Amino acid sequence: MTKRCSIALLSCLMFPLSTNSQVVLKNNVHTWESVGEVIEVSGKTVTLRQRLKLSEATWSLLPGAVAEAKQLTSGDQVHAKGSTLPDGTYDTKRIFLIAESSSRQTATGGGVVQGADHGGPESQQVPRGVSGEPTAPGLEGRGRTDSPGSRVPVGRPGGAKGPVGGLQSSRASTAPRFLPGDVEGVIEQVAPQQLLLKQTLFVDKESTVVGTTGETLKGKDLKPGQRVAVTINDVIDPKTQSRRAAVIRILPK
């Protein structure tokens, strides 16, 4: 009797594990992939709508980073750092404002945002959390201390303000370094706990499109409404000013 009970108990424990593994397999995405819905395919570019999760951990007093949601508005171009969760939502750890929306430029006379100092080789500032080194100027006693796991990555030092409306010619001086898992695009909607971001990528002969069963497809097989997971390379197309979609995986619905 005891043996039968043991077998029955083992079967009950194994069944939910088997079910859960199938769910994970179906929705499996990597932390560095951008997951979103295809909303437009035009020429060699594909545009995704991506959901970015916001939390207290998103905001920072570090130079160049956005400190609160009300600093953002629809139409702003932003660069976000974080990772993708298993459900495809982007867990945002930092947001940097790259260019203001056209409506804000008209109202304030602004444009491309002042380049941030992200602790690059020639930087005059040292990222916080580095043992034995001083904190960045002006940050002492100003709010929370960032954890080592959320340290600002090394990037190009800023300081040079680009021309108004000149994002194409001043991207390198204003944007933090684009690392695997980063996203960059135009805000469609701002809510207290999330952003909707529109991100445009280019597809070329070096890009790979993979279907839901693992088959190799072409860029022309991408259609609006598809849910995809994209690995992005920091290679910028000079014509479209968008980054390369190295691998696009079409996800099951």
Return mean pLDDT, the chain. Answer: 74
Asked whether residue 116 is domain-assigned, the answer is yes
User: Would 154 be classed as within a structural domain?
Assistant: yes
Who wins on pLDDT, 139 or 186?
186
The boundaries of the domain holding residue 220 are 28-250
User: Of 58-62, 100-104, 126-130, where does mean pLDDT reach its minimum?
Assistant: 126-130
Is 155 contained in some domain?
A: yes
Q: Return the structure tokens found at 161.
A: 């303000």
Report the C-alpha gap between 30 and 184 in whole angstroms: 18
Instruction: Decide if 6 is inside a domain.
Output: no
pLDDT > 50? residue 166? no
Token pair of 45 as six digits: 């570019």
Least confident among 32-41, 161-170, 223-232: 161-170
Rounded Cα gap, residues 248 and 220, in angstroms: 12
pTM (2 decimals)?
0.65
Average pLDDT over residues 87-102: 94
- Checking if the pLDDT of 165 tops 50, the result is no
46 located within any domain: yes
Higher pLDDT, 49 or 152: 49
Question: What does the pLDDT read at residue 95?
Answer: 97
What's the pLDDT score for residue 107?
58
The mean per-residue pLDDT over the stretch 107-130 comes to: 44
Q: How many distinct structural domains can be found in the chain?
A: 1
pLDDT tens digits along 20-55: 333 333 458 999 999 999 999 999 999 999 999 999
